[in-house]
Structure 1
Amino acid sequence: MRRHELSDEEWEVLSGLLPRAETGRPRRDDRVVLNGIVWKLRTGPAWRDVPERYGSWRTLYTRFRRWALDGTFTRMLETVQAQKDVGGDIDWLVSVDSTITRAHQHAAGARKKGAAPSEAAHTHALGRSRGGLTTKIHLACDGLGRPLGFVLTGGNVNDCTQFEQVLARIKVYRPGPGRPRTRPDHLLGDKGYSTRHIRNYLRKRGIPHTIPERVDQQANRRRRGSSGGRPPGFDKDRYKHRNVVERCFNSLKQYRAIATRYDKTRESYEAALTLASLLMWI
């Protein structure tokens, strides 16, 4: 096993999750192809610069795009999460947060049919700010710092606007009939999620939460006196566990193709994040 390649333990799990071709000519060995894809995501070069030991770069890119577009990586991640849940290996103390990744100049230029350049950038989760093009990853992780679900937007999108979408991405399927689990035991978030709408949403769903109140909200409540209501509950000791989401981002950004976005399309960047998340769960 070379540096940045799959270990035997990782391949043993992944080999049972990959789709099998029933007909057609034999395709290049899946382990070699996956090793090439993982090597590319870890090191961050262009597809054309992937070493020849992994075969043609066109084969790697075609297989990666096919699995990205048909949902293969997503189904693999859902399967592993379901297996972990059956074994009681998911900590449902969930933390939410976001991180911004700089988009390389090669990430610009993808267009959606009939869309203006500005609309295409929004479609592919690119936002322009003073620093240039950026993408924001809105993510929820379990208590051990493993991704449960994420949403991509442009870097200029506010965290609180994507809160419900992030929670909607948490779907851990269970064996047999029944709906997947979507509700955390407890949720942790920083002051960016301290809004009345979010707190009401969590109360309606029966999700206990620890979110600190912003200074301006505290001042506004005091100014209103008794009509301002009671301050929301805050468990300082439990809130200390929120750092797991920061460690989760740190682990994801060990992949250089995630720390800096080179992919033009949302689908490819989502697939890179999904594959990195899958390896973290394994």
Structure 2
Amino acid sequence: MKLKSLILGVSLAAVSAMSATAENWKLAVTDVEGMERLQLEWGPFKDALEAATGDTFEFFAVNSRTAAAEALRGETVDFVVSGPAEYVVINKLTNATPLIGLGRPDYHCTIVVRADSGINAPADLIGEKVAFGDIGSTSNMLCPMQLMADYGVDPVNDIDTVHTSRNIAFEALKAGDVAAIGMNAGTFMGVRSTETELPYGFFKMIARSGDLPNDMIMVGAHVPADAAEAFRTAVLEHKTEIIAGITAHEENDKYVGMDLVSIDDSAYDYVRSMYTNAGYPQFDNFIGE
């Protein structure tokens, strides 16, 4: 009887110790609106996080990037999954920092023209109309504009810039209504693959970027440094399970083939350069919001 009581006492003490060290965190995803979508698309990720860290995570729904920044600043959310363009602004507004990079494969942008256009380099687009995607998008606006700047073309003053959806931009390029489109390279390849009535060589890329800085899991400035580092360590040690959680739903197919990597703020200096070359040198506002 005394032995059983001793074992029970030790077990309860262990459970109590675990409870004392476990944390309850709030988790947001910037491009997913509504709790129902969060649960459906990111629920397996949350479950994997809890298994890896021993902590509990509660979803915090945000309806905009501004809302995510305000939640971090108000300390009502602790960890946020976001993209590189969003991060640069959120960091400026809240001092949140990146912990884990979501290494997306083939995440880069491109400048595309018609093969019969006579345009062979970005400099040939000076004075021409160029279509870009959603305002504020990393790979469909900021990156292509930075790519133009990398080749010596001012994307604010040297070209006639228009913003539209990728499908409208693609149709405009086909019809010759724009000289070029700047967009996510993977998206371009996907759209072009559906154009079965056109020769494969109807379009050509005249420039492409290097791989873009990663999407990331960022942590609020209010979270203790040792807790943030423990989170990072646990995620990287259980990356296989975490990745499986992220890619469990088809809405996250862009992450298929991904890796998880440790990152810091300096990885996003190139994105800050994108904002500057796009005409937003302060990067303290969400473009288009």
Alignment TM-score, normalising by the size of structure 1:
0.26
- Pair member with larger Rg: 2
State the TM-score, normalized to the length of structure 2: 0.26
**Bigger strand share:** 2
Structure showing greater relative contact order (alpha-carbon pairs closer than 8 Å, 6 or more residues apart): 2
